Structure 1
Amino acid sequence: MELFLSQVTNGPILLLAVAALNLILLLIIVIQYVRIGRIRKSMNRLLTGTSGANLEEGMHRILDQLDDVKKMQRDQQFHINRLTQRVASQCSNVAVVRYNAFGEMGSDFSFSIAIVDDAKNGVVITSIFGREDSRVYAKPLTAGVSTYPLSEEEQAAIRKAIGSQIGA
């Protein structure tokens, strides 16, 4: 090596270049050390929370909370299904048909009102208004059909009530 250095006429320049290269490498090492320190600090903050819990414990806590939320959602869905069944069994479909029962009377004082649930069970109530008296009839409905004979007006009221549940 000494033989090589003695033959090189620019020895001081080469030595200066090697020294400069060493300085640049030292500077790169210092910069990388600072970056690694920042990453290490960030990882320590991530893995150790403010309350001293690490990331794994935090994830377990979040998963436990997620399980609780899923259980609450299942319970709420069960209650919604029960309420949906109760609402479907309520007689909420109502229709009224007014008519003139007797041709000589001047107004539509007679009426038939149908009150049915979503299964078409319920009742049809008819009031026939006459000059001398009025009569009221109630006929039960099962699946939209009654065991008693139904007038055209009563059937029309039932059709209207059953038709109103389609738009609901």
Structure 2
Amino acid sequence: MNIADYLGITLDYAVIAIAVLMLLVLILIIVMIVNVVQMKKLKKNYRIFMDGKDAKTLEDTLIKRLDQVDTLLAANDENAKNIERLFANMKFAFQKVGLVKYDAFHEMGGKLSFSLALLNETNDGFIINAMHSREGCYTYIKEIVDGNSIIVLADEEQEALDMAMKSNSEE
């Protein structure tokens, strides 16, 4: 008695079943070869990654890098606070300048007299007026609050004030 008779199938079905099983075995062999190749690549990459390092030194390196990140984050926060403080202080610094040179007494020549306006962000500051004559140089200062002076300004002083108020308005 042969195997086909024992299993109760005809020879044609037995050949087909054996062919299907052989095909299945071939597919499994191909899948196994692909897995072996991928595993070798993975092992090679792992060896490269771990080359010269043991798990302890790798852990130390990671801890060191994380500490550096924490330090950088703290420094970044400190820098942000410093920048805010600088911008707050800049409001009070003189940012706007206007300078007009003129000849105060028309007999001197050379435009040795000047009006200098210095203003902060809110147009508060002062105007220095220096008038040069043959007898000497006379200096006056006038306070500016919100772009205006309580004391009447001379033409040159008003021109310097206007120049200062326009000097930062283009930004």
TM-score grouping bracket, smaller chain normalisation: 0.5 to 0.7
What letter corresponds to residue 157 of structure 1 in structure 2?
Answer: A
Question: What does residue 36 of structure 2 align with?
Answer: 34
Count of matched residue pairs? 164
State TM-score, norm by structure 1: 0.66
Change (3 A) 1:131 1:38: same
Query: SS at 1:150's partner residue?
Result: coil
Q: Does structure 1 retain, via aligned residues, the 8 Å contact 2:4–2:11?
A: no
Q: What's the TM-score, normalizing by structure 2?
A: 0.65
Alignment of 1:124-163 (within 5 A): 124-163=127-166
User: SS where residue 85 of structure 2 aligns?
Assistant: helix
Alignment of 1:7-86 (within 5 A): 8=11, 21=23, 24-25=26-27, 27-28=29-30, 30-35=32-37, 37-38=39-40, 41=43, 50-52=53-55, 68-86=71-89
Query: In the aligned structure 2, how far is the partner of 1:44 from the partner of 1:75?
Result: 40
Q: Which runs of 5+ in 2 are unaligned?
A: none
**Cα distance in 2 between the residues matched to 1:137 and 1:16:** 115
Deviations 1:89-111 (A, max 9, x none): 22242221122333x52523322
Shift in alpha-carbon separation, 1:15–1:99, aligned structure 2, 3 A: closer
Distance in 2, Cα, partners of 1:71 & 1:125: 45
SS class of match (2:148): coil
State the Cα deviation string for residues 17-67 of structure 1 (Å, max 9, x = none).
57854762463253155156448748978xx995427xxxx9998777655
Change in 2 beyond 3 A, CA 1:82/1:16: closer
In the alignment, structure 1 segments of 5+ residues that lack a partner are: none
Q: By how many angstroms is 1:71 displaced? A: 3.5
Letter in 2 for 1:27: I
Shift of 1:122: 1.9
